[in-house]
Amino acid sequence: MTDVDEVGARIEQLLGGFSGTDAELAEDLVHTLLEFYGAGLARIVEVVDRPVLDRLAEDDLVRGLLVLHDLHPRSTHERVAEALDKVRPYLGSHAGDVEFVGIDDGVLRLRLQGSCDGCPSSTVTAKYAIERVVREAAPEISDVVVDGVVADGAGPAETGPGGRPLLPLCPVEVP
């Protein structure tokens, strides 16, 4: 199992199987192991040259570990800015852009700019595209709030697997 989210979910599931004093001991064991591995990873980060560390940080698994232990070589702000640059061509094709407002307690605040005349669902599609690239770059972001996303007036969106909205897409492919 190498997916960071899967491992986290599995740990939570296993810890949920304990109760009382056993639960406290299990949580203490997990925290102790995380501290131990985090300290070892911190030593590696100290020794490795920056170009090598940057290459390692591109790997999803390594990036997740670096973020978990607050060792990522680039700040959350830098990684979010890079992610937004990836989605800007899509937004620009709809005469729009996104402005970085700030990060507060793990919540990223953005402002959608411009409009997508004649394509009301495109703003929801844009929000989805933004959330996807941001979560890939900065998994420590707990929520993405995008001001300027307008509803299409069609009522609640249908959802597909994983609760993702089923959206009528505009003719432009989402990055």
- Structural domains of the chain, ranges and CATH numbers in brackets: 4-68 (no CATH), 76-163 (3.30.300.130)
DSSP code for 162: G
Q: Is 35 exposed, middle or buried (0-12, 13-18, 19+ CB in 10 A)?
A: exposed
The candidate with the shortest Cα–Cα distance to 137, out of 62, 46, 54, 58, is 58
pLDDT exceeds 70 at position 118? no
Mean pLDDT of 41-54: 96
Report which of residues 46 and 115 the model is more confident about.
Answer: 46
**CA-CA distance, 64 to 60, in Å (whole number)?**
6
* Distance between CA atoms of residues 116 and 72, nearest Å: 36
- Residue range 135-145: mean pLDDT, rounded: 89
Alpha helices by DSSP H, the chain: 4-16, 20-47, 50-57, 60-68, 76-92, 122-137
CA 113 to CA 146: how far, in whole Å?
10
Strand partners, 144: 108
- How do residues 70-92 score in pLDDT, each as one tens digit? 999 999 999 999 999 998 888 88
Assess contact for 165 and 174: CB atoms under 8 A.
no
Mean pLDDT over all residues of the chain? Answer: 80
In the chain, the largest separation of any two C-alpha atoms, in whole Å, equals: 60
What is the torsional sign of CA 120, 122, 124, 130?
negative
DSSP assignment, residue 159? Answer: B
CA gap 149, 30 in Å, rounded: 40
**102 beta partners:** 109
Calpha distance 71→76 (Å, rounded):
11
Q: What's the pTM value of the predicted model, to 2 decimals? A: 0.68
